[in-house]
Amino acid sequence: MEANVIALSAEWENFFVAELGALAALTGLVVVAISINLSRILSFAQLPPRAGEALIMLVGAIVLASVALVPNQPSRLIGAEMAAVSLVMLLAPLVNQWRSWNSIAGVSPTKKYVRVLVTLTAGLPFLAAGVLLFSDSGAGLYWAAAGVIIAIVAGMWNTWILLVEILR
């Protein structure tokens, strides 16, 4: 049985190339935000893990966009790659959040739940993309696109917190 190979159209290639550039720039901004405010970030128990979560989310999306651009991959392979990366994007931040849930003083339960929700919202579309592509459904590319866009929005939100909100 021959493997179904994903051949991206020019439109999909353009989309992933553009998003890869945006993700790389935003990841660089997060690194700058962390380096500029490192001492301030380290003074709040919830912020070092949050900075890590922002980087995991954005680097995960970079890896996923890069994987999508590898030519002539069997759909099962790209699906497995996306599913594996999405599990790291989901599990690493959720484990961080779970471990620090009770030790973070001054953060309301609502804010903690919002953080969990953002993690799930950013990671689950990539997991859906991986599962769909693994089962030879081209609809997985639409889920990957949604995940990339959500990762950019979530990355901007975390960058805002690490650059601006931290100074309030």
Task: Map out the domains of the chain as residue ranges.
Answer: 5-167
Are the C-beta atoms of residues 74 and 3 closer than 8 Å to each other?
yes
Q: How confident is the model at residue 1 (pLDDT cuts 50, 70, 90)?
A: very low
**Residue 6 above 80 pLDDT?**
no
Q: pLDDT, tens digit, for every residue of 40-97?
A: 999 888 888 889 999 999 999 999 999 999 998 998 999 999 999 999 999 999 998 8
Top-confidence residue, 10 or 7: 10
DSSP annotation of 167 reads G
Q: Which amino acid is at 65?
A: A
**Residue 109 above 90 pLDDT?**
no
Predicted pLDDT at 2: 55
Q: Which two tokens stand for residue 67?
A: 């994987």
- Whose tokens are 């592509």? That residue is 133
Top-confidence residue, 155 or 21: 21
Q: How confident is the model at residue 10 (pLDDT cuts 50, 70, 90)?
A: confident
Q: What are phi and psi of 74, to 5 degrees?
A: -65, 140
**Residue 39 above 90 pLDDT?**
yes
DSSP secondary structure, 124-141, as one string: HHHHHHHHHHHTT-TTHH
As a whole number, the mean pLDDT across the chain is 90
CA distance 163 to 29: 9
**Residue 168 above 80 pLDDT?**
no
pLDDT average, residue stretch 108-112: 87
CA distance 67 to 61: 10
Tell me the CA end-to-end span of the chain in Å, nearest whole number.
60
Predicted pLDDT at 3: 66
